[in-house]
Structure 1
């Protein structure tokens, strides 16, 4: 049946979608194949003594890859995206083992009767609902569903569907157990309601950081820095990191490589022109096959490329245009169709003259100058010369006033109207716009859109260049291993660069995301020299200079300097708090008296604010300040409140709370919102603990 074929073809995508729903509740990113795969002796890893075979890992990774390609047509997969999908595949397989163990430990299972009941319910699992729900009625088409189940040809597909539903029901049972003690009180709902609906107004005085003692009057010791680091250690938690020195041997294309690309494309032109199947020819010969049929309009192309298509009156269907360069590629294009285009394009140049003042007399003087110039513009060459000398539009002046091609809606109305009502070759003006006075030369119009098949060759190094550069890199790697990395770099006059700290599969400046770099850095010891590593633009040799696996940032000089600023701020804020208390004590808690005592103080008004919109004039967005203000009774003054700009003392002048009747209407919805957030947090933490307590060996080679 067609519908089951569709289900079978999209099976892995549906599975990812189902598990994607679970991701909202858990920290793992999952894919799927619940049916199990054959193992072999070579393993990608081991989880609690259970191996994950490389075959199983690779198959799961490729399901992610295929799913991504189907969902994101024409998107080129970068190193970073590829690494992320590999990690997703790994996390799924690890999670699958951990959950299967937990199901067995807790005695959780799903019967065939439960699966049938779920399939035939009014609200079946997503894999059923997506295929059998009638979009008009919103109900499941039970006749089509039962027919699909009964069909012998669907037997294998239904086995897979049942496995998906079994896993979904198992996970729901696990969730119910883990979150059985999660509940929400009316008081919690009321607090959320008040946060969303209480409006407050007030005023405040601010003891600004800028008015604290000078930095030089504060002593920040090494002990202060160390204590701050230890007290805030969780703020500096991080994944394991590495540091390395590296040298690069560029694999950028040479002039010879570029000429070879052009030569190859020239040789392909007659073959492309006579090819009977353009799709097969492009797929065989092009560096980029996806979306190879393009529509060309002059206003959308570089001027030089535009001329190849639109300044050729003899161009016809079947001709091959090029080679031409566009960005980092050379292209030839086979003309498939030349169509009329409703989006008419114009090509024009202009001379812009700006009045020196805003008076009418200034404008009239420039108008007179423009009329005089128009009498002198006897040729295209003269127009370009005058534009370069006199135009006040620097962007086009250097190009002789040339604005290129453009369609309607691209220029201001006065300019557009003048151009599109003119004839090719006509000089029109003077035209006044918001930018000044224009003299316009209309070169022509284009009413065609050309559709063509692109054959692309990326500008990259050829085999000879790659071999030569690879040989240089190999020689460096050999001597760096034998005689020392820095010594070899100095002898060869090669610049040593530093990676800084990077995580596994993390981004490295000048290198990017590279699995081979991660594999070397996270499997070798400090001092090791890498093999030659191929990156997008170079061959790289690295020497590992540092590693940190303790889970926290290293307290190096950079971090010490950062912490020194934080400690300094803390000391200043402590002084300001004491100063605020002292001033308010002398002022008997009165803001007006406080500003009379301290001339640096001013009373600021907050306007009406809410926790959900906590922007305070003079302080910016400050939820902590608004929360402290909201907690006051009307007419009461706060204790010192820390803000980004210093220490504030606030007085509440008005509070408007939400109505009890509104709360009763919204109470259940608020409780449900809080419950879902609690469940998400509980499940996240439970699964995180499950993973952290497991013995997981990642044996993958990247």
Structure 2
């Protein structure tokens, strides 16, 4: 009965933790509770006239966010929420189109089909997941009792809806996939691609044997080529934006909040050390882990305290990248791996190798006589990163540095200045300052310093105030008065890849291409902050004038003529050599003859690279008969296939069905993706999410 109670208590979650978003969407949409929302419909958008209500979309969004949290252990950061909403919206659009197509094709599922799935020996994972025992086995008896328990009727009805929508989707996919056909020639080609090897002799008539100066082109010829290829010279419409960015930078209050988290953990630990793991779960921005690390794995700010700490010590607060860390040192253990801490002075700034070596030796002698290493590093090292720290490189394990440097350091003794060692960076004077052969067992709390919701609201208000003043007065003047930095994008075309420097934002892209010059936007939310933009330049779609691209046209046409000349020369010589490629160089000293061994259809050809025309013609060629000429990447080719792996009909018969299945699976993925893309392009999709979630 305990399991039955669990079934009843978890019934809603047990039904709704299904991983297929389509199913969740359909169940929510079919719910009578959602037929009306506040009297009048309030929609985030529509697909082919079918409204998607804010209530429906929010429920899907919340469920998917919770699913992600359960899978990763982390909630979605605020700065990634807009991108996450885009992903969920795209999924809802896809699944709505699926549903509309199902209705259009009158696809249906009988009650018996649903029943067969639910009562089968292997029901769907979302149904059986709560009936897996401690050994990992499915407890069918408990499951059967649960689904036939009258108290679980409402949960069972929801499960039936889930299965129905899943079966509908599968039937639609089956109809689409029935269009897939695999020909015998496709199977043979893939078999040959995997099995065949060829030995080939070939002659190359390179394009380079025809210098540019030998090909005279008139303006009339260039203009004719330009007109025939006019599509190559189309320029898309482009925009440039001036913008003021209000980045999601943490405030002093946000930093103080992160520090308070750490101090609360310290205070609680002092009262009850056994609470540390629980405090990690409450206060840490990353999940709990118990780690065994060498000293090089810790930030420099913590390494000394870790080395000198005793088991049970708290090390921190330590300000690290993006937040504050508190370490709890549980114990130390011996390690078979050595890590070292070293300093160096890099000398490479005196021109020749001889001069650099002489300077390094001069400094080395002074250091051996007692000069201050840190002072010398600050004054003389060509490595600015370590120079400002007196040459300190911190702790590092083997494999982190170039070999010559690493060999010298790991053989060095602590506090002993070593002879200069040469690497590709220059000459290094090194000194080992620490050696460790221990690992440290730690757990930690990491309190992220990030812009809080309050800080982000304040930033959005600032951005909104600026947008208002810039629209009312002047964008540049208001930015100057408020001491805001104006940046400008490079010219960009309308695309899904986003605005240079600002990232993907569909509404920002739409604003940029649907408004006039000097239009000033409202506030948009981008990946790293809020932004207000001004359209600073508009370039309309056009054709590049002939005079602007004349040189490019000339290069293309000249390449075309070289190709024609090489092909004609290869054809002429082919008629003279009596099927013997070794005679080619008797007629053309610029040509070359080479041999290839064990070339597979998908191989890169030595000296040529990937050349599909070369391979395709070789595969079709008769043995010991010159084929060509072939227009290739580097020139014109004549081929003689000397041998080719014979077709193994027995192996083909064995592998034929497997190859067919592989091709079908490849085509399935391609077909479904292409179908979804086409359906989206044809659909009338209205996206009003910005009214509810901002820009």
Q: State the TM-score bracket (shorter-chain normalisation).
A: 0.7 to 0.9
Residue 624 of structure 1: aligned partner:
613
* Superposition map of 1:481-496 within 5 A: 481-482=471-472, 485=475, 495-496=486-487
- Once the two structures are superposed, residues 160-212 of structure 1 have per-residue CA deviations (whole angstroms, 9 ceiling, x without a partner) of 33222212222232234344454434444223323332222212233334444
CA distance in 1, matches of 2:278, 2:421: 54
Residue 111 of structure 2: aligned partner:
112
Out of 288-297 and 692-701, give the one that drifted further. 288-297
Match of 2:639 among 632, 646, 650: 650
Specify the SS of the correspondent of 1:606: strand
Residue 602 of structure 1: aligned partner:
592
Residue 169 of structure 1: aligned partner:
167
Residue 59 of structure 1: aligned partner:
59
Specify the SS of the correspondent of 1:616: coil
Residue 19 of structure 2: aligned partner:
15
- Once the two structures are superposed, residues 279-306 of structure 1 have per-residue CA deviations (whole angstroms, 9 ceiling, x without a partner) of 887788x6x6233678675322343332
Residue 85 of structure 1: aligned partner:
84
Residue 355 of structure 2: aligned partner:
none
Q: 1:661 to 1:441 in 2, by over 3 A?
A: closer
Residue 440 of structure 2: aligned partner:
449
Match of 2:489 among 492, 498, 507: 498
Residue 531 of structure 1: aligned partner:
522
Residue 363 of structure 1: aligned partner:
none
Confirm or deny that 1:289 pairs with 2:279.
Answer: no
Q: 1:393 to 1:268 in 2, by over 3 A?
A: closer
- The alpha-carbon deviation at position 490 of structure 1 amounts to 8.8
- Once the two structures are superposed, residues 482-501 of structure 1 have per-residue CA deviations (whole angstroms, 9 ceiling, x without a partner) of 45657877998964512532
CA distance in 2, matches of 1:82, 1:152: 41
CA distance in 2, matches of 1:102, 1:443: 69
Does the 8 Å contact 2:313/2:330 carry over to 1?
Answer: no
Q: 1:580 to 1:91 in 2, by over 3 A?
A: same
Q: 1:528 to 1:399 in 2, by over 3 A?
A: closer
Specify the SS of the correspondent of 2:532: strand
Out of 488-497 and 339-348, give the one that drifted further. 488-497
Confirm or deny that 1:298 pairs with 2:298.
Answer: no
Specify the SS of the correspondent of 1:15: coil
- The alpha-carbon deviation at position 602 of structure 1 amounts to 0.8
- Once the two structures are superposed, residues 634-665 of structure 1 have per-residue CA deviations (whole angstroms, 9 ceiling, x without a partner) of 12233333333233332222222331111111
Match of 2:241 among 219, 222, 245: 245
Match of 2:334 among 319, 330, 342: 342
- The alpha-carbon deviation at position 631 of structure 1 amounts to 0.8
Does the 8 Å contact 1:351/1:390 carry over to 2?
Answer: no
TM-score by length of 1: 0.73
CA distance in 1, matches of 2:232, 2:422: 64
CA distance in 2, matches of 1:130, 1:570: 66
Does the 8 Å contact 1:269/1:320 carry over to 2?
Answer: no
Residue 267 of structure 2: aligned partner:
274
CA distance in 1, matches of 2:222, 2:342: 67
Does the 8 Å contact 1:345/1:406 carry over to 2?
Answer: no
Residue 228 of structure 1: aligned partner:
229
Residue 22 of structure 1: aligned partner:
none
Q: 1:157 to 1:560 in 2, by over 3 A?
A: farther
Q: 1:487 to 1:619 in 2, by over 3 A?
A: farther
CA distance in 2, matches of 1:242, 1:458: 38
- The alpha-carbon deviation at position 585 of structure 1 amounts to 1.8
Match of 1:696 among 677, 685, 688: 685
- The alpha-carbon deviation at position 11 of structure 1 amounts to 5.0
Specify the SS of the correspondent of 1:61: helix
Residue 26 of structure 2: aligned partner:
34
CA distance in 2, matches of 1:589, 1:33: 72
Does the 8 Å contact 2:312/2:331 carry over to 1?
Answer: no
Out of 483-492 and 629-638, give the one that drifted further. 483-492
CA distance in 2, matches of 1:521, 1:394: 42
Structure 2 unaligned runs (5+)? 348-357
Does the 8 Å contact 1:430/1:439 carry over to 2?
Answer: yes
Specify the SS of the correspondent of 2:599: coil
Q: 1:537 to 1:627 in 2, by over 3 A?
A: closer
- The alpha-carbon deviation at position 121 of structure 1 amounts to 4.3
Q: 1:454 to 1:129 in 2, by over 3 A?
A: closer
CA distance in 2, matches of 1:390, 1:476: 48
- Once the two structures are superposed, residues 500-540 of structure 1 have per-residue CA deviations (whole angstroms, 9 ceiling, x without a partner) of 32657643333234466357447756653102445566653
Does the 8 Å contact 1:8/1:157 carry over to 2?
Answer: yes
Confirm or deny that 1:321 pairs with 2:325.
Answer: no
TM-score by length of 2: 0.74
Does the 8 Å contact 2:378/2:389 carry over to 1?
Answer: yes
Structure 1 unaligned runs (5+)? 20-29, 355-365
CA distance in 2, matches of 1:563, 1:140: 73
* Superposition map of 1:64-143 within 5 A: 64-74=64-74, 77=77, 82-121=81-120, 124-127=123-126, 142-143=140-141
CA distance in 2, matches of 1:682, 1:569: 36
Confirm or deny that 1:543 pairs with 2:543.
Answer: no
Does the 8 Å contact 1:224/1:567 carry over to 2?
Answer: no
Q: CA RMSD in A?
A: 5.3
Q: 1:557 to 1:405 in 2, by over 3 A?
A: same
